[in-house]
């Protein structure tokens, strides 16, 4: 008895839907900024670093407090660890506001639990200081070492966070209030969606207010006054816009065997050789019948599909005009073929130009 291999098949058929403009686009120039830094974590319970750059950083820190080490003495401490700092500076952040900081060990520390970050600076890509961080770490991981060299850890003990651990010291310049226009950038470039956004805005504010620049950007004439511009944007970002339909796409997960087929995927006539299976999918002439209503019904054509599977007669898959990918997947899966067989067929059809969809393997 043939073993039937489980195969997960998902057919996406998304209907046209309306989304708020704020959910599908962002305002050009209004974005997060990444900050980074370097510092020392102290107060560790013997889980610190034993690296040269940690000793050097520790000695430099001591010298700032007036402590000078004798010649040839290293400032080594197992309670100190060198760390890198990262943070995200939200748009329009002002001096004095707080942001979270992520602290990661850069040496051979076995854990940062219980440590305290000393005062450290956070810089932007331009090298300027935008925030200052300090505080006690919250570490979700735990690590232990045995006397015999054994080691056990839960999650990641060498990474922690300091909620509200950094104070913003400098605001990032923004072009939000500059000029007579604002530009919306779509999160997913699409010519149809860009046209829909432009038409929706012009329908509300009048013709010519919004102009589509390309598949991503829509330029909108905006008031110069900052308070009016905020009100203007609050109205626009809540407009509901109909999204353009996605391009035909097939996504294959090679690890789990999952295949996701999007809408509008079509197959052209093709023949593929693979293994010992022969699957033929034909179109059968439609049947003439009624639409099912008791009175006032009308004659309709009910399409039918013929499916024939043979495992011994040859090695050829034959796909005639009108066959859908759903039919093909069901046919191959019905005889217990592995998901890898379906993947190979789809990849072959894509290479032959018989599928109108993008094939994405993850």
pLDDT at 281 over 50: no
Question: In this structure, are 274 and 226 located in the same domain?
Answer: no
Question: In this structure, are 37 and 161 located in the same domain?
Answer: yes
Give the mean pLDDT of 115-139.
94
pLDDT at 292 over 80: no
pLDDT at 14: 44
CA-based nearest residue to 51, from 96, 1, 105: 105
**Distance in angstroms (rounded) separating the CA atoms of residues 297 and 140:** 67
More confident call, 339 vs 347? 347
Give the mean pLDDT of 258-272.
68
pLDDT at 7: 40
pTM value > 0.85: no
Question: In this structure, are 66 and 163 located in the same domain?
Answer: yes
Question: In this structure, are 184 and 87 located in the same domain?
Answer: no
- Residue 140, both tokens: 């979700």
pLDDT at 11: 44
Question: In this structure, are 276 and 224 located in the same domain?
Answer: no
Question: In this structure, are 48 and 144 located in the same domain?
Answer: yes
Helix axes 339-351, 325-334, angle to 10 degrees: 140
Q: What percent of the chain has pLDDT over 90?
A: 36
Give the mean pLDDT of 305-317.
49
Cβ contact 246:202 at 8 Å: no
Query: 4-18, 19-33, 175-189: which range is least confident on average?
Result: 4-18
Question: In this structure, are 70 and 124 located in the same domain?
Answer: yes
Cβ contact 112:158 at 8 Å: yes
Give the mean pLDDT of 277-284.
50
pLDDT at 13: 44
pLDDT at 51: 85
pLDDT at 12 over 50: no
Average pLDDT, the chain: 77
Q: In the chain, how many domains are there? A: 3
SS3 call for 354: coil
pLDDT tens by residue, 146-163: 454 545 556 788 999 999
CA-based nearest residue to 331, from 344, 322, 342: 342
pLDDT at 73: 66
Give residues with Cβ within 8 angstroms of 99, minimum separation 6.
87, 88, 89, 90, 93, 131, 164, 165, 166, 168
Question: In this structure, are 233 and 277 located in the same domain?
Answer: no
Structural domain for 338, as ranges? 247-361
- First-residue to last-residue Cα distance in the chain: 33
* 61, part of any domain: yes
Residue 242 belongs to what H/E stretch?
strand 240-242
* 114, part of any domain: yes
More confident call, 73 vs 51? 51
pLDDT tens by residue, 29-58: 888 999 999 999 999 988 888 888 888 888
**Distance in angstroms (rounded) separating the CA atoms of residues 35 and 131:** 8
CA-based nearest residue to 284, from 311, 323, 318: 323
For residue 286, what pLDDT band results from cuts at 50, 70 and 90? low
């Amino acid at each position: 008895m043939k073993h039937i291999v489980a195969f997960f098949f998902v057919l996406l058929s998304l209907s046209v839907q309306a989304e708020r403009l704020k959910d599908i686009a962002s305002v050009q120039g209004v974005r997060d900024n990444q900050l980074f830094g370097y510092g020392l974590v102290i107060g560790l319970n013997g889980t610190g670093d034993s690296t040269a750059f940690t000793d050097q950083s520790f000695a430099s820190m001591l010298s700032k407090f007036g402590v000078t080490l004798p010649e040839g003495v290293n400032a080594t401490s197992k309670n100190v660890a060198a760390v890198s700092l990262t943070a995200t500076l939200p748009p329009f952040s002002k001096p004095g506001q707080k942001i979270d900081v992520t602290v990661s060990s850069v040496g051979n520390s076995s854990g940062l639990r219980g440590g305290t970050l000393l005062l450290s600076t956070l810089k932007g890509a331009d090298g300027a200081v935008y925030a200052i961080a300090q505080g006690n770490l919250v570490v979700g991981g735990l690590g232990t070492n045995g006397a015999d060299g054994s080691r056990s850890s839960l999650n990641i003990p060498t990474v922690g966070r300091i909620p509200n651990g950094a104070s913003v010291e400098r605001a990032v310049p923004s072009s939000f209030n500059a000029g007579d226009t604002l530009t919306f950038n779509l999160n997913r470039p699409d010519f149809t969606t860009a046209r829909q956004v432009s038409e929706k805005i012009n329908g509300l504010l009048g013709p010519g207010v919004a102009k589509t620049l390309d598949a991503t950007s829509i330029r909108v004439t905006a008031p110069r006054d900052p308070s009016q511009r905020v009100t203007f944007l609050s109205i626009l970002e809540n407009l509901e816009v109909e999204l353009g339909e996605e391009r035909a796409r097939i996504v294959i997960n090679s690890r789990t065997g999952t295949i996701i087929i999007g809408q509008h995927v079509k197959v052209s006539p093709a023949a593929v050789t693979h293994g010992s299976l022969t699957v033929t999918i034909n179109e059968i002439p439609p049947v003439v019948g009624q639409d099912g209503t008791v009175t006032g019904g009308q004659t309709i054509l009910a399409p039918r599909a013929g499916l024939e599977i043979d495992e011994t007669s040859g090695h050829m898959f034959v796909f005639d005009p009108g066959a859908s990918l759903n039919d093909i997947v069901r046919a191959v899966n019905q005889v217990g073929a592995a998901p890898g067989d379906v993947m190979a067929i789809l990849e072959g059809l894509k290479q032959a130009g018989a599928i109108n969809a993008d094939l994405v393997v993850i």
